[in-house]
């Protein structure tokens, strides 16, 4: 049966890297229907909204979404509801993409790219499972109000609401325990239970769900300590599960351990395995349109899509092997370039992956 893929290139380097990913996907000889739609700032320019109804509809009707990146400084002064970031938040919410997988893998060929000592990071393979549709990101009420009482009475006050419902914690817990069971069997739940009620509740539910996974070893860590341990001894982690806000922060930190955020894919899944696949990096408007962006994170996101949403694991392995091969050949985009390697552009890198697939 034909699988429907929505390609949402977005802003900055998004279109360039999405083009390379689409080339690679097209070369696999699969029965795919690929349709492209604008998202983010590009959609705002064309339709006056970062997530126009036509783009949302295309996404909803597809089996999987390949998402480039959104955001550019030129939209920073727009009201919040019209900013490019609302497109990705809106897609996550509308499609119920609650489970976000962010692997941080150090490719042996890139061991020197990390700012940490090679012995600390060599062989690094962490999976961060971030809850993606709840927490303070979406909690209501939020806004600016007048303080009613106390020392700040009469002043304006900005506020947000952090909360997690039991079913929200349970479902991400199951996803994380199942992921850990397929790996080294260690799951670290990160929270701030020493201060936050939401976190204590999260921790209690994690402990309860753990009873169903006797082969997975559950540990708990406060988020401040986790931030520290990630740079002190990152290899001590296998799978990390955490809420939306802490996951946002820790996943950037984990990505940087590998020295190359341009290499890391991500997957965001809902309960029916419909998924959105995007590189972990952003839109990098400073290098947009210059053929400098690393397309590998986007190409590897395509591999995750084949594995999780299209149930074609052997095709995913083909792409991953092709990426390994181009790294072995010494090809490097500027972000991972070092002395002795061959500097290539976005298009050339995509072409090399295509060639390696054959």
Active-site residues, by number, are 137, 192, 224, 248, 252
Contact 227, 256 (CB under 8 A): no
Among ligand IPM, Mg ion, none, the one that 88 touches (CB under a kind-dependent 5 to 8 A) is ligand IPM
Using rule CB under 6 A, residue 85 touches ligand IPM: yes
Identify the burial level of 88 via C-beta atoms within 10 angstroms of its C-beta, where 0-12 means exposed, 13-18 middle and 19 or more buried.
buried
Burial 236-256 (b: 16+ CB within 10 A, else e): ebbbbbbbbbbbbebbbebbb
Nearest residue to Mg ion by CB is 248
Among ligand IPM, Mg ion, none, the one that 89 touches (CB under a kind-dependent 5 to 8 A) is ligand IPM
Selected range binding Mg ion among 38-46, 63-71, 242-250, 288-296, rule: CB under 5 A: 242-250
Cα end-to-end span (Å), the chain: 24
Which 149-178 residues touch Mg ion, going by CB under 5 A?
A: none
CB atoms within 10 A of CB 270: 17
The Cα 2–Cα 31 span in angstroms is 5
Using rule CB under 6 A, residue 88 touches ligand IPM: yes
Choosing from 160, 248, 253, 320, the residue that interacts with Mg ion (CB under 5 A) is: 248
Contact 342, 330 (CB under 8 A): yes
Strand runs labelled E in 110-222:
125-131, 143-146, 156-159, 186-191, 217-222
Number of residues located near ligand IPM, criterion CB under 6 A? 4
Q: Which two tokens stand for residue 69?
A: 């990146």
Among Mg ion, ligand IPM, none, the one that 42 touches (CB under a kind-dependent 5 to 8 A) is none
CB atoms within 10 A of CB 65: 27
Which 74-113 residues touch Mg ion, going by CB under 5 A?
A: none
Minimum distance between the CB of residue 184 and Mg ion, rounded to whole angstroms? 25
Using rule CB under 6 A, residue 162 touches ligand IPM: no
Minimum distance between the CB of residue 27 and ligand IPM, rounded to whole angstroms? 28
Cis-peptide into 141, omega within 30 deg: yes
- Closest CB to ligand IPM among residues 88, 113: 88
Selected range binding Mg ion among 59-67, 159-167, 240-248, 309-317, rule: CB under 5 A: 240-248
Number of residues located near Mg ion, criterion CB under 5 A? 1
Q: Which two tokens stand for residue 274?
A: 């419909």
Among ligand IPM, Mg ion, none, the one that 85 touches (CB under a kind-dependent 5 to 8 A) is ligand IPM
Residues 6+ apart with CB under 8 A from 148: none
Minimum distance between the CB of residue 252 and Mg ion, rounded to whole angstroms? 5
Using rule CB under 6 A, residue 248 touches ligand IPM: yes
Applying CB under 6 A, the residues found at the interface with ligand IPM are 85, 88-89, 248
Applying CB under 5 A, the residues found at the interface with Mg ion are 248
């Amino acid at each position: 049966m034909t699988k429907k893929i929505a390609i949402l290139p977005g802003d900055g380097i998004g279109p360039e890297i999405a083009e390379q990913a689409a080339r690679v996907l097209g070369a696999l000889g699969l029965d795919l229907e690929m349709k492209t739609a604008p998202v983010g700032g590009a959609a705002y320019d064309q339709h006056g909204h970062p997530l126009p109804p036509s783009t949302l509809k295309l996404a909803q009707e597809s089996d999987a979404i390949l998402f480039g990146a959104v955001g550019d400084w030129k939209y920073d002064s727009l009201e919040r509801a019209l900013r490019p970031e609302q497109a990705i938040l809106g897609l996550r919410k509308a499609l119920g993409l609650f489970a976000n997988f962010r692997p941080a893998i150090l490719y042996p060929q890139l061991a020197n790219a990390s700012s940490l000592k090679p012995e600390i990071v060599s062989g690094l393979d962490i999976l961060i499972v971030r809850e993606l549709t709840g927490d303070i990101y979406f909690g209501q009420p939020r806004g600016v109000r007048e303080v009613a009482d106390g020392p700040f009475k009469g002043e304006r006050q900005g506020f947000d609401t952090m909360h997690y419902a039991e079913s929200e914690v349970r479902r991400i817990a199951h996803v994380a325990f199942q992921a850990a069971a397929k790996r080294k069997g260690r799951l670290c739940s990160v929270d701030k239970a020493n201060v936050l009620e939401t976190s204590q509740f999260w921790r209690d539910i994690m402990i309860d769900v753990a009873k169903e996974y006797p082969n997975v070893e559950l540990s708990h860590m406060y988020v401040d300590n986790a931030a520290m341990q990630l740079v002190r001894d990152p290899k001590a982690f296998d799978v990390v599960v955490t809420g939306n806000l802490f996951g946002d922060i820790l996943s950037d930190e984990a990505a940087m351990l590998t020295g190359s955020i341009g290499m890391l894919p991500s997957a965001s899944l809902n309960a029916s395995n419909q998924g959105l696949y995007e590189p972990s990096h952003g839109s990098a408007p400073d290098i947009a349109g210059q053929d400098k962006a690393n397309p590998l994170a986007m190409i590897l996101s395509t591999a995750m899509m084949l594995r999780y949403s299209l149930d074609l694991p052997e095709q995913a392995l083909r792409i991953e092997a092709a990426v390994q091969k181009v790294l072995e050949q010494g090809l490097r985009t500027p972000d991972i370039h070092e002395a002795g390697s061959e500097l290539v552009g976005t298009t050339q890198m995509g072409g090399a992956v295509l060639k390696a697939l054959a």
